[in-house]
Every structure is written in C-alpha cells, then in structure tokens.
C-alpha cells in the first residue's frame, strides 16, 4: 500500500506572542477604567461640595440683603463653615460704592487649600 503525502494540518490556537499582546492591551484598558472611575468619584464629591458652597454663599448674601440699607455697615466678616468634612472660611465684605449703593461680596475658600472654592457678588441699594 502506497501512502500519498499530505501537508501537515495547520496548528490551531494562539501563539504565545498573541496571548501576551492581548493581555497587555486588556491590562491597559482595565487601568484606564480604574483611573477614570477614581477621577469620576473625585468629581462627584467636588460637585456635592460646590452645591453646598452655593447654598452657604446665598445664605450669607440673603442675610445681608435682608438688613436695612441704613444698618448695613461697610466692613468684613469672617467665619468658618464645615462642608463634607472640610473647613471653609466664609468672607463677607460690604463696600460702599456710593452713598446710595453698597457692594456685597461673599467668598468661600477651604482652609487647607484643597477643594473647590466659590464666590458671589451682589448689590444693595437704599430706597429713593
């Protein structure tokens, strides 16, 4: 019996280099997702803090705007507030622009220098 020669069947599966390259690409993708999720968590925390800062700044402005214009004295008031475990300095400044107009500035800055800040400006006028 005579056998005919057949080429060997092609090897099935992946080579070692293909497997290593796929693992490297997959690892880079996983690391990027991890970094993105931690950055997203930080952004969400800062967004919550910013919302609270806006509320606290509005409270400061509202309290000064509710004060009668004749009782509003030019000057600066400094107090501290706690927002999400971080202490902020709230600076309220009243400046006389004209005898009939005062400018009110409110700024909130973290005492440790890290975290979001917020500032607002409003005006209060005497009645005519």
Give the model confidence (pLDDT) of 8-56 as tens digits: 777 788 899 999 999 999 999 999 999 999 889 888 888 988 999 999 9
Structural domain spans, the chain: 16-125
Contact 105, 93 (CB under 8 A): yes
CATH topology of domain 16-125: 3.30.1300
The pLDDT score that the predictor gives to residue 1 is 65
Split at pLDDT 50, 70, 90, the class of 80 is: very high
pTM of the predicted structure, to 2 decimals: 0.67
Q: How far apart are CA 103 and CA 74, in angstroms?
A: 9
């Amino acid at each position: 019996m005579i056998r005919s020669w057949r080429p060997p069947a092609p090897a099935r599966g992946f080579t070692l280099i293909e497997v290593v390259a796929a693992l490297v690409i997959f690892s880079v993708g996983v690391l990027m997702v991890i970094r993105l999720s931690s950055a997203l968590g930080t952004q969400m925390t800062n967004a919550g803090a910013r919302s609270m800062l806006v509320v606290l700044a509005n409270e400061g402005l509202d309290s000064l705007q509710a004060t009668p214009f004749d009782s509003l004295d030019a000057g600066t008031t400094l107090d501290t507030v706690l927002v999400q475990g971080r202490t902020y300095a709230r600076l309220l400044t009243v400046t006389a622009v004209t005898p009939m107009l005062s400018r009110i500035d409110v700024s909130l800055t973290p005492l440790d220098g890290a975290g979001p800040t917020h500032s607002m400006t409003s005006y209060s006028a005497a009645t005519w």
